[in-house]
Amino acid sequence: MPAGERTITDELGHEITVPAAPKRIFAPYLEDSLLKLGVKPVVQWSNGPLGHEYLKEELKDVPKLDFSGGLPSPEVVMSYNPDLIILHTAAYAADGAYENYAKIAPTYVFKNASGDVEKSLGTLGELLGKSAEADQALQAYQQKVKEAKEKLDQAVAGKKVAIIRFAAKGVSLMGGNYLCGYVVHKQLGIGSSKLVENENSANVSMEALPELDADYIFIINAYGQGTQRMKEMTESSVWKSIPAVKQGHVYEVSDEYWLGSGLTAYEKIIDDTVKLLVG
């Protein structure tokens, strides 16, 4: 094995040989974490023309690749000449995609990198020879969580927040196991509604609204596709009778990073939460 190459087993059990210092990384949807490690990918994930808008400054020189119609073909991936391919979810490796991609370059698959952003950042650090950068980013993040939590514990102890996502497919309450729900409920320790207690998410209907036990409501219009549903719900008399709504405790937050997956997104979520609840 050439100097510095390593053999690593990915989360699906594939054994791969990672080059000593991979330079051309194809890792769609992991841009936030890559940038934390000081790495720019050869191409960035996008949904139609929209990439991760909150990272657009850092990624302005990186071409976009549209994933709205599914995974890119092996030919398209090959055209970027990657020396390491990293897939953020097992779904990206399904239906023969893994076998096709693995012929192009060593391919590492996460079961679900968004499920535990801190752990996946550590893994990326190992893969890319950037463990020191990963440790540094994680320490800074944990310090930020700690400081925010202290402020929030004083300002809103015992209070609950509901995070409602209006999307093309429907209206849901974000639970505490992943993404912004994880940051707000698990890491910052703010209570969640009983409607979503042990779930990843729960559908929200007009009928369920009177049971929404939350002191504050954060609303997210996912990719601008929830506008119609948001209008219908927030203009209804049921909505207007919710105590948090009457008190003016409803805040629309940015879908750009509230639905983001990475420490940069999480840090922005923490800043918003402190600003809105502590002032």
Residue pLDDT, tens place only, 208-235:
999 999 999 999 999 889 999 999 999 9
Q: Angle at which helices 117-127 and 131-156 pack, to 10 degrees?
A: 170
Instruction: Give the count of alpha carbons within 13 A of 43, CB side only.
Output: 20
CB under 8 Å to 95, separation ≥6 — which residues?
none
The fraction of the chain above a pLDDT of 70, given in percent, is 99
pLDDT tens-digit profile of 117-162? 999 999 999 999 999 999 999 999 999 999 999 999 999 999 999 9
Asked whether the predicted pLDDT for residue 245 surpasses 90, the reply is: yes
Q: Quick one: pLDDT at residue 260? A: 93
Q: Quick one: pLDDT at residue 248? A: 97
Asked whether the predicted pLDDT for residue 1 surpasses 70, the reply is: no
Give Cα 271 to chain centroid, integer Å: 16
Determine contact, residues 199/175, Cβ cutoff 8 Å.
yes
10 Å Cβ neighbour count for 112?
14
pTM of the model: 0.94
- Enumerate the β-bridge partners of residue 162: 217
pLDDT tens-digit profile of 179-203? 999 999 999 999 999 999 878 889 9
Q: Quick one: pLDDT at residue 131? A: 96
Of 53-57, 94-98, 166-170, give the lowest mean pLDDT range: 166-170
**Which band of pLDDT confidence, cut at 50, 70 and 90, is reported for residue 2?**
low
The string of DSSP codes covering 221-265 is: EGGGTTHHHHHHHHTSHHHHTSHHHHTT-EEEE-HHHHT--SHHH
Q: Quick one: pLDDT at residue 200? A: 85
Q: Quick one: pLDDT at residue 169? A: 87
In degrees and rounded to multiples of 5, residue 114 shows phi and psi of -75, -15
Q: Quick one: pLDDT at residue 19? A: 93
Average confidence (pLDDT) over 32-54: 96
Per-chain mean pLDDT for the chain = 95
Asked whether the predicted pLDDT for residue 21 surpasses 90, the reply is: no
CA 151/CA 233 separation, integer angstroms: 32
CA 260/CA 1 separation, integer angstroms: 38
Asked whether the predicted pLDDT for residue 30 surpasses 80, the reply is: yes
Q: Quick one: pLDDT at residue 197? A: 81
**Which band of pLDDT confidence, cut at 50, 70 and 90, is reported for residue 246?**
very high
pLDDT tens-digit profile of 69-104? 999 999 999 999 999 999 999 999 999 999 999 999
CA 124/CA 127 separation, integer angstroms: 5
Asked whether the predicted pLDDT for residue 256 surpasses 80, the reply is: yes
Q: Quick one: pLDDT at residue 223? A: 85
